[in-house]
Amino acid sequence: MYQSSALGLDPYQTQEPESAYQTYAAGQDPYQAYQHGHGPYQPHEPGYGLYQPGYSPYDDQIPDPKSRMLAIQNAKAYLLKSSTTSGLNLYDHLANMLTKILDEQPANAVDIIENISKDVKWAQFQKKMDTLRDEHEILPTFEAAEKHKALFLRANGEGDEELEEEIGETPLPNVMETAFYFEQAGIGLSKDEFYHIFLALKKLISVQPIQTCRFWGKILGLEMNYIIAEVQYHEGEEEEETEEEEVIEEGGKGMGEVEDEDEKKEDEPPKSTYKPPPVIPKEENGTGANKYVYFVCNEPGKPWVKLPPVTPAQIVCARKIKKFFTGRLDAPVVSFPPFPGNEANYLRAQIARISAGTQISPIGFYQFAEEEGDEEEEEGGGRDTYEENPDFQPLSVAEMVGSLSAWVHHGQSILNQGRCVWLNPFQKSEEEEEEDEEEEKAEEPNELQQEIGPPLLTPLSEDEGIQNIPAWTAEASTNLIPQYAVAILQSNRWPGAYAFASGRKFDNIYFGWGHKYSPENHIPALPPPVQAEYPSGPEIAETRDPTLEEELAFKAAREEALAAAEEEEDEEDVDEDEEDEDDD
């Protein structure tokens, strides 16, 4: 018997059973035993609480059985009555509930009794549907797990020969090592995700002819995120995608010529003298902002997509807008000034900006190539190639953390123009000379100053801070164990860009939303001012229309003048156009 001593009831007050049912509420009369003779005094003794006034404690036989039995049967029948709405009955429900409670023995069951009751009902309802078997749910989680599993499978047909190749020089970066060092600073994704990315990069390398590959980072988006790999192709193996772009440009020019011919037949409306600023050509693949090729995927396991090379116009526009990425590469970027491209181009432009601003390395790791004769045609005289320094002596962690001049940028910075190497757009090239024949040259080419940015491999101490915040925050990963600490740099200009250095190893990574930090609120570009109307002068000044009398008078005066002119045999040119203009 499960008796609970309900405290708080007055032990000296005998509860008069008012209903027809005897309630064996224990603990009510703990002292009654004293009053009525010997009986079980303690709760653990059998028969405790059964003692009621008028009955002996060992009296299990219920007196007056008939009426009591009838009452019990009525009660039970009532409890067994099925509900009209749900088909359950209270008796079964209570039995199930008590069974569940006794099986599970939750703490403080009385506090959650309603929830238990609800759960029992819910379970009941489900069971009745067993006659129809549920179709096995294909959760999206299963499909994702399939994709992940596919990463772990090796492609068929690879024998032991492949194994040997892989162990040798491979462009695959050691992502887990990088993950370990960044984890010392508390930066990075979970180990699982890193490993998946590792395998996805391996897949990328096996598909594309890649010379060097690096995990660039992860950019978060609204619907999906981007995982980005920075890649350099083998020389000469790059696919020629530039042909498509040239074809589109030539097609556009052809259309323009056809339209000109049609209009020459009629009176030409005044031709606009507006000459759009020249389009600055993008940098060649493999140089400047397009030095690396970037592949993105939404999740490791999904196919990698190559991002198109970036154009200066896109970079210039990306500097003016601030938009979240949605996660779909073909999504349009709705902004002002209108971004020339879709999200893939915007992503590429942001990656270019981030790389240019935050790719750093310990000083001395890279050095300039010694041969100066191989420099390409550059007007600025800056160098854009570097190579690893075989004599690199790593600095200690304390020095790397203490002074920012121990780090240098190895990403070329992007000028205001949108390129890394300045190009004068007004330089006469073969195509532009044809267009310049008819029109005068604008005076602008002389005004464009050559833009010079900081040269490659400048130390970080030259970086400007924002207001009073330095551009980089340096710290060691741990102060408790300085022997094995890792030097960590966090960028304050591009929050989310990190770099670490430990001995000869270093790397950069980006985890963030892809935007630059600005303490001021983002001010979108205003629309350009309203264009001025045609400059007003006396020729187009409106005057009042002449009245009939004025016209007749004028006509008469004119005839007199004509007659006078004929007499004098002087011909004067009378502008009869004035009348026509007044009618407008």
Partner 1 sequence: MEAASLPAALELAAGGGAGLSPEKRAVLGASLLLLQRDYRFERVWFWGCIRGVRGAYYIAEGLGPDRAAPRSRLYRCGGPASPPLRAADGTCLGRWDRGGRFRGWGEKRGRSEGAAQLSWREPRCAPEGPGKAASSPVLQRARACVVLVAGSLNCVEWSLLPPVTEEMVAQAEQLKGRFQGDPSFEYEYTEINAEDAERLFEDGKEPMIKEESRLVATIEQIDKAVGIIPRGAFVKTPLGSVRENRNFEGLSLTEAKKLSSYFHFTEPVNLKNKTLLEKADLDPSTDFLDSLEHDIPQGSWTVQLEKGGTVVVLRSLLWLGLTFYHVPMTKQYGYVYFGTGEKNLDLPFML
Residue numbers at the binding site for partner 1 (CB under 8 A): 106, 112, 115, 119, 139-141, 143-145, 147-148, 183-193, 217-218, 220-225, 322-324, 401, 467, 469-470, 473-480, 490, 492, 495-496, 511-513, 515, 519-522, 524
Per the CB < 8 A criterion, the answer to whether 367 and 386 are in contact is yes
Q: What is the DSSP string of 330-384?
A: T-B---SSPPSSBHHHHHHHHHHHHHHHH-EEETTTEEE-S--TT--S-SS----
Bridge partner residues of 367 (DSSP): 387
Phi-psi region of 215 (alpha: psi -120 to 50; beta: other; left: phi over 0): beta
280 versus 476: smaller Cβ distance to partner 1: 476
114 versus 437: smaller Cβ distance to partner 1: 114
Q: What is the DSSP letter of 58?
A: T
Gap between the Cα atoms of 379 and 421, Å rounded: 8
59 versus 192: smaller Cβ distance to partner 1: 192
SS3 (DSSP) at 324: coil
- What's at 206, amino acid-wise? S
* Closest by Cα among 227, 153, 224 to 189: 227
Neighbours of 412 (CB within 10 A): 26
Minimal distance in Å, beta carbon 191 to partner 1?
8
36 versus 516: smaller Cβ distance to partner 1: 516
428 versus 522: smaller Cβ distance to partner 1: 522
* Closest by Cα among 356, 353, 329 to 341: 329
Per the CB < 8 A criterion, the answer to whether 490 and 472 are in contact is yes
Gap between the Cα atoms of 51 and 22, Å rounded: 11
CB neighbour burial string for 186-217, b if at least 16 within 10 angstroms, e if fewer: ebbbeeeebbbbbbbbbbbbeebebeebbbbb
Burial of 494 (0-12, 13-18, 19+ CB in 10 A): buried
Give yes or no for a cis peptide into 173 (omega within 30° of 0). Answer: no
Tokens in use for 176? 């887990």
Per the CB < 8 A criterion, the answer to whether 36 and 53 are in contact is yes
Minimal distance in Å, beta carbon 302 to partner 1?
12
- What's at 367, amino acid-wise? Q
SS3 (DSSP) at 512: strand
Minimal distance in Å, beta carbon 475 to partner 1?
4
71 versus 112: smaller Cβ distance to partner 1: 112
280 versus 349: smaller Cβ distance to partner 1: 349
Minimal distance in Å, beta carbon 156 to partner 1?
24
121 versus 322: smaller Cβ distance to partner 1: 322
Gap between the Cα atoms of 414 and 422, Å rounded: 9
140 versus 373: smaller Cβ distance to partner 1: 140
Minimal distance in Å, beta carbon 479 to partner 1?
5
Minimal distance in Å, beta carbon 336 to partner 1?
10
Bridge partner residues of 505 (DSSP): 502
Minimal distance in Å, beta carbon 523 to partner 1?
9
Q: What is the DSSP letter of 391?
A: T
Gap between the Cα atoms of 275 and 288, Å rounded: 28
5 versus 478: smaller Cβ distance to partner 1: 478
Give CA torsion, residues 63, 66, 68, 70, to 10 deg. 170
49 versus 362: smaller Cβ distance to partner 1: 362
Minimal distance in Å, beta carbon 249 to partner 1?
33
193 versus 238: smaller Cβ distance to partner 1: 193
184 versus 287: smaller Cβ distance to partner 1: 184
Gap between the Cα atoms of 371 and 446, Å rounded: 33
Minimal distance in Å, beta carbon 497 to partner 1?
11
106 versus 340: smaller Cβ distance to partner 1: 106
- Which residue has 């430990």 as its token pair? 502
Minimal distance in Å, beta carbon 496 to partner 1?
7
Minimal distance in Å, beta carbon 222 to partner 1?
5
311 Cβ partners below 8 Å, 6+ apart? 280, 281, 282, 340, 345, 418
Minimal distance in Å, beta carbon 350 to partner 1?
13
Tokens in use for 220? 């978060």
Find how far residue 25's CA is from the centre of its chain: 64
Gap between the Cα atoms of 576 and 562, Å rounded: 13
Minimal distance in Å, beta carbon 359 to partner 1?
17
458 Cβ partners below 8 Å, 6+ apart? 408, 409
Bridge partner residues of 89 (DSSP): 82
Minimal distance in Å, beta carbon 510 to partner 1?
8
48 versus 325: smaller Cβ distance to partner 1: 325
Minimal distance in Å, beta carbon 84 to partner 1?
23
